[in-house]
Amino acid sequence: MDLSSNLMGIPLKNPLILSSGPMSRSGEMMIKALDAGAAAVVTETILNEIRPNVRPRMFNRGQGLQNIRLYSEFSLEEWEREIAMVKERGGILIANILAHSPSEMAFLGRTVESYGADALELGVSSPHGEGLAVLGSDPENLYELVKTVAQSVNIPVMVKLSPYVNNLAALAKAAQLGGAKGISAINTVRSIMGVDIDQMVPLLPTYGGYSGEPIRPIGLGAVATICQTVDLSVSGIGGISKFNHLLEYLMLGADSCQLQSALIFHGFSVISEILSELESWLEDKNFSSLEQIRGKALSRLKSFDEIILEPKIAVNKRDCPLPDCTLCTDSCTFSALSKNQKGLVDIDSSVCTGCGLCVSICPRLCFDMQ
Amino acid sequence: MPNIREVAQKAGVSVATVSRVLNHPERVSPNTKELIEKVMKEMDFSPNVFARSLNLKKSNTLALIIPDILNPQYMEIARGVERVAHEKGYNLLLCNTEKDLKKEQNYIRMLIEKKIDGIILAFTLLQQEDFDEIQRRNIPLILFGQNILKKNISSVYSDFKEGAFLAVNHLIQRGFRRIAYVCGEKDQLENRDKTLGYVDALLGSGLNICEDLMIEGSDDIDSGYLAALKLLKLNPLPDAVFVGNDLMAIGIIDALKNEGKRIPEDISVIGYDNIRMASLIEPKLTSVSWPVYKMGLISARILIDEVEKPDEEVETQNIFLSPKLKIRKSCGHENRVSEIFDLK
């Protein structure tokens, strides 16, 4: 099976990349990801000035993950060795860097290039105190930054964007205009995980980055927008833990995907699981390469005006096997569904407006639209 | 005995990698280091220490020249430079000029005699002929601090005019109109830049420049205290004061409190540098921050790069880092979120 992909002109054996985060904090960790099958790795964010990590800094209780520190604790000097380890292993390494002015970013880029990095990812959209508001959400600033960096290095530059903006398309264009060869999206989403209501304190002491399963729809939306805006190598990020998630990103136009949170929760073996399930799925569907599925769903994404109005309503596809389940009747905002004495669902076709919620909410797929 | 090239060939690595194992083993991955050391042992290779020192022609010492050893801002530069120098195996000489050109020139002569590997000049007073002399000796040089770019000399700098403009503009936005300015010694280029920023911000908002409101201090706490006493003699009193550095601002706050004034209710104070103490004094001091420690790190990184690279590979780098406002209570409290995120 041909899983080969491409990252800004760098050939990849498959589309899976370890994204920037705690799991890529060292050469040793990145090599583990490569051993598990990752086609490339992105370093944890490398800075000129490191600051010690706060404790605690990560939180999960079901749902997604909040992290309030996302930068490397290794100095720039120490990264020379960590990067060399990955390069000696033959790995493709993308250095994620963050600085606060174009010239500083260019300096960091040149330095990690001299250490052997194959590409740069500009971490301009970190949800923390620094970055997002000034660097990662202003197209003019972003253009200047990307241009300065792209002109000072000989390796391809990609820009990591956040969905926490209202001008994603303009930012993607600015990055392209500045000379970026790729865009990765999305960065973690600025968040507060919750409040301890007894103590009346936030669960973590400052705003953090939210990642994992819950942000996948946000990531898919952002990637589709970027792919519809620019013709660059796009790396999809956000909530990927299964092969079908990866396929969703690819079908919406991504060339590669990055993952992190799933590996934090379940270990590097997730990578090999995704890859083997991806191969099986492609084989089952008689596809021979990823090129056959790339962007296929993107081309079917419509504007609101283009959606044809059809008088569809919900119909029973099969009898409900769960007499006590009331998911569909409770959530039918038009009160078109009711359970009869046999525990089966009656649909009042004169009331149903065809919203479709019952079709997706039913765990046993009992509904269809006609 | 085999030479380094033969070792590299047998180990299947580059000469540079073998050289790194010898000179900077910490920069080589453990596996490679082990392999090369094994090959060296097998081939009975030992580096010729005498030849190495001849070859390196280095004193392994860098110098940092700063204007005032008592100002914590300059010690932050030293902290950054020292950190990188130590990690890369260099010694560091710290020279304190006390803002005296003669003393600075003496230091330069001494450093040249000591065959220093490279020099970082922070807020230098040196003249063109001094630069020419250093460059004639082919000693790598980094200019730190001011916005003075020189051909073929790398620099790491901030913009003090922009920083002052940010500070004074912030005061104007807060509604203050009678804004005093306590500046540092006018000989220092960065202080002249701050004055330009003060003037620009006032004129840009249609306010007048009033000589009475501008007082010169000497960048330390005592001169700030004395400047505040002068300000208090003005009638009407200024409603806010922009201070050229945090040390003077601390002196001013002390004097104002002693004279029974409340900050920020009676008079607001804004400083420059965002030193550690700014967030500890009461009221916490709003200040202009510039990443001085980081600039120290970057200066040392560029300098060591220039020391270690062959001359023809060295490229002049000018790294600019912009100043930012750190808003605290000494000018009245605005929105708290701006203390957490950098807002544009």
Q: What is the mean pLDDT of residues B56-64?
A: 86
Residue A329 has pLDDT above 70, yes or no: yes
Residues of B (219-278) whose Cβ lies below 8 Å from A: none
A108 to chain B: nearest residue by CA? Answer: B298
More confident site: B145 or B201: B201
Question: pLDDT band for position B50 (50/70/90)?
Answer: very low
Q: Which of A84, A85, A130 sits opposite B342 (nearest CB)?
A: A130
If asked whether residues B110 and B167 sit together in one domain, one would say: no
Q: Give the burial string for B96-106 (b: 16+ CB within 10 Å, else e).
A: bbebeeebbbe
CATH number for position B21: 1.10.260.40
Tell me how far apart the alpha carbons of residues A147 and A210 are, in angstroms, rounded to a whole number: 29
Nearest Cα of chain A lies from the Cα of B196 at a distance, in angstroms, of 23
CA distances from residue A239 to A220, A360, B118 in whole angstroms, order as listed: 9, 20, 49
The encoded tokens of residue A290 equal 């990823």
CB–CB contact B341 A132 (8 Å): yes
Tell me how far apart the alpha carbons of residues B269 and B182 are, in angstroms, rounded to a whole number: 10
- Please check whether residue B318 lies inside any domain of the structure: no
CB–CB contact B341 A111 (8 Å): no
Residue-level pLDDT at B154:
95
- Please check whether residue B261 lies inside any domain of the structure: yes
If asked whether residues B80 and B207 sit together in one domain, one would say: no
Rg of chain B's alpha carbons, rounded to an integer? 25
If asked whether residues B200 and B250 sit together in one domain, one would say: yes
Residue type, A140: E
Residue B214 has pLDDT above 80, yes or no: yes
CB–CB contact B340 A81 (8 Å): no
Question: pLDDT band for position A252 (50/70/90)?
Answer: very high
Looking at every residue in chain B, the average pLDDT score rounds to 90
If asked whether residues B153 and B35 sit together in one domain, one would say: no
Coil, strand or helix: which one is B198? helix
Residue-level pLDDT at B14:
76
Cβ–Cβ < 8 Å for B90, B60:
yes
The answer to whether A5-300 and A309-369 have equal CATH topology is: no
CA A98, A100, A101, A107 dihedral sign is negative
Residue-level pLDDT at B334:
62
Tell me how far apart the alpha carbons of residues A293 and A248 are, in angstroms, rounded to a whole number: 10
Interface predicted TM-score of the whole assembly (ipTM), two decimals? 0.84
DSSP letters spanning B84-128: HHHHTT-EEEEEE-TT-HHHHHHHHHHHHHTT-SEEEEES----H
Q: Name the residue among B88, B61, B89, B92 with its Cα closest to residue B78.
A: B92
Nearest Cα of chain A lies from the Cα of B210 at a distance, in angstroms, of 34
Question: pLDDT band for position B333 (50/70/90)?
Answer: low
What's the structural domain count of chain B?
3
Q: Name the residue among A126, A127, A128, A122 with its Cα closest to residue A96.
A: A122
Look at the block and give the residue holding tokens 């990531």: A219
The residues with which A202 forms a beta bridge, in sequence order, are A195
Which has the minimum average pLDDT: A37-46, B29-38, B240-249?
Answer: B29-38
Tell me how far apart the alpha carbons of residues A3 and A10 are, in angstroms, rounded to a whole number: 14
| Interface test with chain B among A81, A142, A167, by most B beta carbons within 10 Å | A81
Tell me how far apart the alpha carbons of residues A261 and B294 are, in angstroms, rounded to a whole number: 30
Interface check B334 vs A, CB under 8 A: no
Residue-level pLDDT at B52:
47
Q: Which of B29, B317, B340 sits opposite A27 (nearest CB)?
A: B29
CB–CB contact A101 B319 (8 Å): yes
Residue A362 has pLDDT above 80, yes or no: yes
Q: What is the mean pLDDT of residues A14-35?
A: 97
If asked whether residues B97 and B193 sit together in one domain, one would say: no
Residue type, B69: I
Interface check A192 vs B, CB under 8 A: no
CATH number for position B118: 3.40.50.2300
Nearest Cα of chain A lies from the Cα of B32 at a distance, in angstroms, of 8
Q: Name the residue among A196, A194, A187, A193 with its Cα closest to residue A165.
A: A187
Residue type, A314: A
If asked whether residues B20 and B66 sit together in one domain, one would say: no
Tell me how far apart the alpha carbons of residues B59 and B38 are, in angstroms, rounded to a whole number: 30
Interface check B147 vs A, CB under 8 A: no
If asked whether residues B302 and B336 sit together in one domain, one would say: no
CATH number, span A309-369: 3.30.70.20
Looking at every residue in chain A, the average pLDDT score rounds to 95
Look at the block and give the residue holding tokens 């953090």: A208
Q: Where are the domains of chain A?
A: 5-300, 309-369
Tell me how far apart the alpha carbons of residues A264 and A245 are, in angstroms, rounded to a whole number: 17
If asked whether residues B331 and B210 sit together in one domain, one would say: yes
Cβ–Cβ < 8 Å for A142, A175:
yes
Q: What is the pLDDT of residues B90-146, one digit of tens each?
A: 999 999 999 999 999 999 999 999 999 999 999 999 999 999 999 999 999 999 987
Domain that holds residue B194: 160-289+325-340
CB–CB contact A104 B88 (8 Å): no
Q: What is the pLDDT of residues A70-116, one digit of tens each?
A: 789 999 999 999 999 999 999 999 999 999 899 999 999 999 999 99
Q: What angle do CA A322, A324, A330 make, to 5 degrees?
A: 105
More confident site: B44 or A302: A302
If asked whether residues B276 and B164 sit together in one domain, one would say: yes
Question: pLDDT band for position A226 (50/70/90)?
Answer: very high
CATH number, span A5-300: 3.20.20.70
If asked whether residues B258 and B238 sit together in one domain, one would say: yes
Q: Name the residue among A151, A165, A82 with its Cα closest to residue B315.
A: A151
